[in-house]
Protein backbone atom coordinates (compact mmCIF):
# COMPACT_ATOMS: atom_id res chain seq x y z
CA UNK A 1 0.00 0.00 0.00
CA UNK A 2 2.97 2.33 0.37
CA UNK A 3 4.96 1.52 -2.78
CA UNK A 4 3.99 4.56 -4.85
CA UNK A 5 6.68 7.09 -5.84
CA UNK A 6 3.99 9.67 -6.72
CA UNK A 7 2.48 9.63 -3.23
CA UNK A 8 2.88 12.87 -1.30
CA UNK A 9 5.39 11.99 1.46
CA UNK A 10 3.40 14.15 3.89
CA UNK A 11 0.12 12.38 3.17
CA UNK A 12 -0.84 9.72 5.71
CA UNK A 13 -1.16 6.16 4.51
CA UNK A 14 -4.61 4.77 5.04
CA UNK A 15 -7.39 2.64 3.66
CA UNK A 16 -7.36 4.49 0.33
CA UNK A 17 -3.61 3.95 -0.25
CA UNK A 18 -2.51 1.47 -2.91
CA UNK A 19 0.91 0.42 -4.17
CA UNK A 20 1.72 1.28 -7.78
CA UNK A 21 1.95 -2.07 -9.58
CA UNK A 22 4.32 -0.84 -12.29
CA UNK A 23 6.63 0.62 -9.65
CA UNK A 24 6.58 -2.67 -7.73
CA UNK A 25 7.53 -4.51 -10.92
CA UNK A 26 10.27 -2.05 -11.91
CA UNK A 27 11.84 -2.27 -8.43
CA UNK A 28 11.27 -6.05 -8.32
CA UNK A 29 9.34 -5.77 -5.07
CA UNK A 30 7.39 -8.94 -5.75
CA UNK A 31 6.07 -9.20 -2.18
CA UNK A 32 4.21 -5.87 -2.40
CA UNK A 33 3.19 -6.62 -5.98
CA UNK A 34 1.68 -9.98 -4.98
CA UNK A 35 -0.16 -8.49 -2.00
CA UNK A 36 -1.61 -5.73 -4.18
CA UNK A 37 -2.81 -7.90 -7.06
CA UNK A 38 -4.22 -10.46 -4.64
CA UNK A 39 -6.28 -7.84 -2.84
CA UNK A 40 -7.41 -6.26 -6.11
CA UNK A 41 -8.48 -9.71 -7.31
CA UNK A 42 -10.44 -10.27 -4.11
CA UNK A 43 -12.30 -6.96 -4.58
CA UNK A 44 -13.09 -7.81 -8.22
CA UNK A 45 -14.33 -11.30 -7.28
CA UNK A 46 -16.47 -9.90 -4.46
CA UNK A 47 -18.07 -7.29 -6.75
CA UNK A 48 -18.72 -9.88 -9.47
CA UNK A 49 -20.44 -12.21 -7.00
CA UNK A 50 -22.22 -9.57 -4.94
CA UNK A 51 -20.23 -10.41 -1.83
CA UNK A 52 -19.69 -8.07 1.11
CA UNK A 53 -15.90 -7.96 1.48
CA UNK A 54 -13.85 -6.27 4.19
CA UNK A 55 -10.06 -6.37 4.08
CA UNK A 56 -7.72 -6.11 7.06
CA UNK A 57 -4.29 -4.84 6.02
CA UNK A 58 -1.74 -5.80 8.66
CA UNK A 59 1.47 -3.80 8.42
CA UNK A 60 4.79 -5.44 9.43
CA UNK A 61 3.63 -8.43 11.46
CA UNK A 62 5.81 -9.61 14.35
CA UNK A 63 5.43 -12.53 16.72
CA UNK A 64 5.59 -16.29 16.73
CA UNK A 65 6.44 -17.89 13.41
CA UNK A 66 4.59 -20.92 12.07
CA UNK A 67 7.42 -21.95 9.79
CA UNK A 68 11.04 -22.77 10.74
CA UNK A 69 12.49 -20.12 8.40
CA UNK A 70 12.49 -16.34 8.60
CA UNK A 71 9.71 -14.43 6.84
CA UNK A 72 9.78 -11.10 5.02
CA UNK A 73 8.36 -9.17 7.97
CA UNK A 74 11.14 -10.13 10.38
CA UNK A 75 14.11 -10.38 8.03
CA UNK A 76 15.32 -6.82 8.72
CA UNK A 77 15.46 -7.58 12.46
CA UNK A 78 17.55 -10.70 11.84
CA UNK A 79 19.96 -8.66 9.69
CA UNK A 80 20.37 -6.18 12.56
CA UNK A 81 20.98 -8.94 15.11
CA UNK A 82 23.55 -10.79 12.98
CA UNK A 83 25.51 -7.70 11.92
CA UNK A 84 24.64 -8.29 8.27
CA UNK A 85 23.34 -4.72 8.17
CA UNK A 86 25.89 -2.17 9.43
CA UNK A 87 23.66 0.90 9.17
CA UNK A 88 19.92 1.30 9.53
CA UNK A 89 17.90 3.06 6.85
CA UNK A 90 16.15 6.38 7.40
CA UNK A 91 12.78 4.72 7.35
CA UNK A 92 9.84 4.15 9.63
CA UNK A 93 7.60 1.12 9.68
CA UNK A 94 4.34 0.41 11.39
CA UNK A 95 4.25 -2.85 13.33
CA UNK A 96 1.56 -5.14 14.72
CA UNK A 97 1.77 -8.36 16.72
CA UNK A 98 0.40 -11.43 14.96
CA UNK A 99 -2.16 -12.00 17.75
CA UNK A 100 -3.44 -8.42 17.42
CA UNK A 101 -3.71 -8.87 13.64
CA UNK A 102 -5.72 -12.05 14.19
CA UNK A 103 -8.01 -10.26 16.65
CA UNK A 104 -8.52 -7.42 14.15
CA UNK A 105 -9.68 -9.93 11.54
CA UNK A 106 -12.23 -11.37 13.98
CA UNK A 107 -13.45 -7.91 15.05
CA UNK A 108 -13.95 -6.80 11.45
CA UNK A 109 -15.71 -10.07 10.60
CA UNK A 110 -18.10 -9.65 13.53
CA UNK A 111 -18.71 -5.90 13.15
CA UNK A 112 -22.04 -5.01 11.52
CA UNK A 113 -21.48 -2.68 8.58
CA UNK A 114 -17.75 -3.35 8.26
CA UNK A 115 -18.04 -4.64 4.68
CA UNK A 116 -16.89 -2.70 1.65
CA UNK A 117 -13.90 -1.20 3.46
CA UNK A 118 -10.18 -1.69 3.98
CA UNK A 119 -8.78 -1.51 7.52
CA UNK A 120 -5.14 -0.73 8.23
CA UNK A 121 -4.01 -2.79 11.22
CA UNK A 122 -1.06 -1.35 13.16
CA UNK A 123 -0.09 -1.08 16.81
CA UNK A 124 2.71 1.49 16.56
CA UNK A 125 5.17 3.10 14.21
CA UNK A 126 8.91 2.95 14.83
CA UNK A 127 11.78 4.62 13.04
CA UNK A 128 14.47 2.06 12.27
CA UNK A 129 16.82 3.95 14.61
CA UNK A 130 14.35 3.55 17.46
CA UNK A 131 13.99 -0.14 16.63
CA UNK A 132 17.78 -0.59 16.69
CA UNK A 133 18.03 1.19 20.07
CA UNK A 134 15.35 -1.13 21.46
CA UNK A 135 17.14 -4.20 20.08
CA UNK A 136 20.50 -3.00 21.47
CA UNK A 137 18.91 -2.59 24.90
CA UNK A 138 17.45 -6.09 24.80
CA UNK A 139 20.48 -7.77 23.21
CA UNK A 140 23.64 -5.79 24.06
CA UNK A 141 25.85 -8.72 22.99
CA UNK A 142 24.70 -8.43 19.36
CA UNK A 143 26.21 -6.06 16.73
CA UNK A 144 23.13 -3.84 16.34
CA UNK A 145 23.71 -0.87 13.97
CA UNK A 146 24.04 2.57 15.54
CA UNK A 147 24.41 4.62 12.34
CA UNK A 148 21.84 5.84 9.83
CA UNK A 149 22.35 5.47 6.06
CA UNK A 150 20.71 8.89 5.66
CA UNK A 151 18.80 7.94 2.53
CA UNK A 152 15.38 9.37 1.81
CA UNK A 153 13.00 6.42 1.66
CA UNK A 154 9.21 6.22 1.89
CA UNK A 155 8.22 7.18 5.43
CA UNK A 156 5.32 5.18 6.84
CA UNK A 157 5.24 7.03 10.17
CA UNK A 158 1.82 8.57 9.54
CA UNK A 159 0.01 5.31 8.86
CA UNK A 160 -3.46 5.24 10.35
CA UNK A 161 -4.10 2.79 13.14
CA UNK A 162 -6.89 0.24 12.96
CA UNK A 163 -8.53 1.75 16.03
CA UNK A 164 -8.78 5.30 14.67
CA UNK A 165 -9.54 4.12 11.15
CA UNK A 166 -12.54 2.13 12.36
CA UNK A 167 -13.82 5.01 14.47
CA UNK A 168 -13.56 7.31 11.44
CA UNK A 169 -15.50 4.79 9.40
CA UNK A 170 -18.24 4.73 12.08
CA UNK A 171 -18.08 0.96 12.49
CA UNK A 172 -19.71 0.52 15.87
CA UNK A 173 -18.74 -2.19 18.30
CA UNK A 174 -15.41 -3.01 16.69
CA UNK A 175 -12.98 -1.38 19.10
CA UNK A 176 -15.16 -0.29 21.98
Active site residue 151: no
Catalytic residue among 25, 35, 86, 158: 35
Cα–Cα dist 104/58, whole Å: 9
DSSP H helices in 1-153:
21-26, 30-49, 72-82, 98-110, 128-138
Whose CA is closest to 114, among 175, 29, 33?
Answer: 175
**Counts of helices then strands in the chain (DSSP H, E):** 6, 7
* Residue 77, CA distances (Å) to 9, 53, 73, 130 in order: 25, 33, 9, 12
Residue 139 sits at the vertex; the CA angle it makes with 142 and 152, to the nearest 5 degrees, is 70
Q: Hey, how many other C-beta atoms are within 10 angstroms of the C-beta on 142?
A: 12
Residues known to be catalytic: 35
Amino acid sequence: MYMDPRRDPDAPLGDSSWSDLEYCKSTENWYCYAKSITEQGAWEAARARGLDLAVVIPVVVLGELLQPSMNTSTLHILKYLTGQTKEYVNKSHAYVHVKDAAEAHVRVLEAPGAGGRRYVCAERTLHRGELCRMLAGLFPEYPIPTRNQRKAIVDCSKIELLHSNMKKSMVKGVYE
